[in-house]
Structure 1
Amino acid sequence: MVSDAQSRLVVGLVGGSHLVNHAYFMLLPPIFGPLKADIGVTDAQLGIALGVVGVVVTALQLPFGSLSDSRSRTSVLAISLTFGAVGAILTATAQSFAWLLAASVVTGVGIAGHHPAHYPLIGAATTEDTRGRAYSVHGFTGALGFAAPPAVVATASTLGVDWRVAIGGIAVVGAVYGAGCLLAFDRYVDAAITHPTNERTRESDEPLPTRIRRELRTLLSSPPIVALTVLWFVTSMAGWGIKQYTATLLSSGYSLPEATANFAVSAMLVTGAVLIFAGGWLTDRYSPGPVLVGGYAALVAVAGLLALGTLPTLGALALVLVLSATVDGSRPARASLADSLSTADSAGKNFGLLTVGISGGAAVAPPVLAVVVERAGVEAAFWAVAAIGVVAIALTAGVLHLGEGGATETVQPGD
């Protein structure tokens, strides 16, 4: 039996890793302007670089998941934290578009490993009556990770420090945390948590490609889970559109200084992180369906109003503050809905497919929205986000119908 102290340690270590990995995921958007000025890349090329990260993350989800289940969760965690830090260093030193693409590939490898390691570690270290709170911490720290790079870059800009120093600082902090995290797991966490059971290890004798194909066929045989995966895909697209272009919209559309716009984005993401807890409470009280529909309706309204470009500056800042929360606040509801559509022996595999939806959205949104911005302006990207909100409402209705009325089980917040 896992002690309370060890359980708290694992949740804390994994939460810190989630923050670091999400910071790596958010490295590029705050430095779009400096990258264009310093190495001469275009908006489309920046979108491609950010999309490459998502492609790599998507491609490696199931392989890393199989490695975590069959060998060692901490080995996947080590790959994640190491490659993430190296990718951040390469980003900080980028001198060309090709260099930036290479940095994106390495960063993507690092980011790809964090969910396949995190969720099994938390599951092994917690009990049924504490797991929901553990996943709330996990979701909260991940949201803070998204908020960190805009704040760091904005602070550096205010102090007259070069953006390369800011990104390099994130890399150094991440590397130091990674070393301490892995050392703590090695010294203080039982092997029963960090390694799979003997039964799972024996299953690893099946060739990895064969196992992945078999598991994928099983996952795709559930229409509600497939529909929910598409929902996670489109909401991931909306979330990345918000993260990628809110600062640009505030700068170009509302004439705010770049540093102020990045501070506003950080404040927006922190607000979204806090409201994850509110989303969990509302889901428990009212069920996932109303929370999802309400959140996506708010997304449509807020993104549409910002896209008009006619709001007073304070009004725009007020709406930006809650923009990310329209997506983040629904995370517990989406997780609860997935939980209710899963059996005891399929929840892990289902979440793996849903994570592919998340990372797939992260791969598709940046290049697609970059083209939209280049051809029609940043306001058009927010009209696209509002349209995605309409699609999300329709998909939610479809998932609830396929799942025969939706979910009422206990929420387990996650990404």
Structure 2
Amino acid sequence: MTAATLPASAAPPLRQDASTIGLVGLAHAVSHFSQLLLAPLFPWLKIEFNVSYTELGLLLTIFFVVSSAVQTASGFLVDRIGPRPVLLGGLGLLALAALGYAASTHYAMLAASAVVAGLGNGVFHPADYTLLNRNVHASRLGHAYSAHGITGTLGWALAPALMVPVALAAGWRVAMVTAAAVALVVLLLLWWQRGRLLLLPGTAPPVASPAAAVRAEGPFDFLRIPAVWMCFGFFFFYAMALSVVQSFAPGAAQQLHDVPLAWVAACLSIYMVCSATGMVAGGFLARDPARCEQVVGVGMGLAACIALWMALGPVPGWAVPLLFGAMGLVSGSAGPSRDMLVKRSTPANASGRVFGVVYSGLDIGQALAPLVFGRLMDLHLYTAVWVGLAMVQGVLIVSAFQVRRVRRELRPTDNPPPLASSR
């Protein structure tokens, strides 16, 4: 049996699982950090390159379109050669992309660097979740998902907290060089600890449940499982909501509620830190897989209510960062349960492929959202930005329960399938 299918009494030492979770989480933090290199620097880039918010949003679209394509392909690569070389290669590409941003003298150079960054970013979810599903014991997997989400969220929080002060002190190009240094340091650390990134050997294949075993013989047969595509749709809308919060919600809030400029970047960092805090509680909630849809529904419902309040209600400027924090807290609590939705739809020996396809929905959503909401910003429709965010969060509630409905149509019980055992 694999580490992920051992009974709780045979759990490996906590230190062994913790080292895997820590290294994977650190790489995940760099991935999320690199996703937010551009957005906090939009005020500098807009002036430097004389471009609109729509054109700046197009850079994010390029990044996430490339990342989506790579994420799907890298899932197959992870299942074939293992996650370690894929993970290290992605970190190297992210460092190279940050240096490319720093050296850019034309908009086209920014776009080319966004392509390189997308190539690097696309490998992380298939590699990360294959390592976690394979090497972390089942009794600790909910907390592993929680830690994975927390480190990613802290990576998002670090980006504006680091990039904006460095840009103010030394310029945006120096900020980009600093970002490249962050990626390189983590790459060297993971190379030093590369022995811990090998998949644990398995002595017997896991027994698949009816849902997980549907036509699991061929490399593409998992695509016939409806729950996989329902998860893809859920992550598409999840990413749209996240993209709005990261790129446009702080600026829209500034215009609607007269938020001081110095607080705008702080709103995003507060959101991310509170989201990470919520994921701590979410790790405990995810220990019961049967209620993951309810957890997601409640979290997204509360977040939608906060977004509508920001759009339509009287909000004093000082309260805006607090509302960002509250929205991050309730959204973050749903994060580990969100990942459990995918795990429960994953057939045996296809972890990398399933997470690659499903999480490409994240990239596609983040690719399209900047085009729509960037245009709303250019048209000064700031209320529409927040109303649109609330609508997308509402769709997430329906999507989560649709995943459950489709999964139940495939199997008679609501017991979670065995954890994937993929190389």
TM-score range relative to shorter protein: 0.7 to 0.9
- Assess if the C-alpha contact under 8 Å between 2:292 and 2:338 holds in 1: yes
**3-state SS of 2:258 partner:** coil
Residue 91 of structure 1 and its aligned partner are, at CA, apart by: 1.7
Distance 1:38 1:79 in 2: 31
Amino acid at match of 2:180: A
Paired amino acid for 1:318: L
Relative to structure 1, the CA distance from residue 352 to residue 275 in structure 2 (aligned partners, 3 Å threshold; closer, same or farther) is: same
User: Which of 82, 87, 109 in structure 2 is aligned with 1:99?
Assistant: 109
The alignment status of 1:387 with 2:399, answered yes or no, reads: no
Match of 2:292 in 1: 288
Cα 1:282–1:26, aligned 2, differ >3 Å: closer, same or farther? Answer: same
- CA deviations over 1:164-194 (Å, ceiling 9, x no partner): 2222212112112212211321xx437555x
User: 1:333 and 1:361 mapped to 2: Cα distance?
Assistant: 19
What 5-or-longer segments of structure 2 have no aligned partner? 4-11, 206-217
1:277 shift after superposition:
1.9
Match of 2:267 in 1: 264
3-state SS of the aligned residue for 1:27? coil
Asked if 1:171 is matched to 2:180, the reply is yes
Instruction: Give the gaps of 5 or more residues in structure 1.
Output: 201-213
Give CA-to-partner distance per residue, 1:193-241, whole Å, 9 cap, x none. Answer: 5xx88999xxxxxxxxxxxxx644x233222332222011101110111
Q: Per the alignment, do residues 294 and 56 of structure 1 end up closer, same or farther by CA in structure 2, a change over 3 Å counting?
A: same
After TM superposition, list the pairs within 5 Å mapping 1:398-413 onto structure 2: 398-404=402-408, 409=416
Compared CA separation, residues 63 and 342, structure 1 to 2 (3 A) = closer
Residue in structure 1 matching 2:333, options 323, 329, 333:
329
Match of 1:248 in 2: 251
Quick one: structure 1 residues 372 and 92, their matched pair in 2 at CA, closer, same or farther if it must change by over 3 Å? same
Aligned CA distance change for structure 1 residues 350 and 189 (closer, same or farther; 3 Å) = closer
| Structure 1 length-normalised TM | 0.86
Pair 1:104–1:230, CA change in 2 (3 A): same
How many residue pairs end up in the alignment?
A: 393
Q: 2: CA distance between counterparts of 1:125 and 1:284?
A: 18
Change over 3 Å in CA distance of 1:259–1:347 after alignment to 2:
same
Deviation of residue 346 (structure 1)? 5.0
C-alpha separation between the residues in 2 aligned to 1:190 and 1:293?
A: 34
The structure-2 alpha-carbon separation of the partners of 1:41 and 1:215, relative to structure 1 and needing over 3 Å to count, comes to farther
Partner deviation per Cα, 1:101-128 (whole Å, 9 max, x = no partner): 0110011111111222222223343222
The one-letter amino acid paired with 2:233 is V
* Correspondence 1:140 to 2:150: yes
Contact 1:29 1:243 in 2 (8 A): yes
What is the TM-score when the length of structure 2 is the normalising length?
Answer: 0.84
| 296 and 189 in structure 1: CA distance in 2 versus 1, 3 angstrom threshold | closer
Q: CA deviation at 1:355?
A: 0.8
Structure 1 pair 325–353 and aligned structure 2 pair: CA distance change class (3 A): farther
Match of 1:15 among 25, 49, 69: 25
The one-letter code matched in structure 2 to 1:393 is I
The separation in 1 between residues aligned to 2:285 and 2:15, in whole angstroms, is 30
Q: Distance in 1 between the 2:320 and 2:115 partners?
A: 35
Matched, 1:48 2:51: no
- Aligned Cα root-mean-square deviation (Å): 2.8
Q: Distance in 2 between matches of 1:403 and 1:333?
A: 15
Identity of aligned residues (%): 26
Q: Partner of 1:234 in structure 2? A: 237
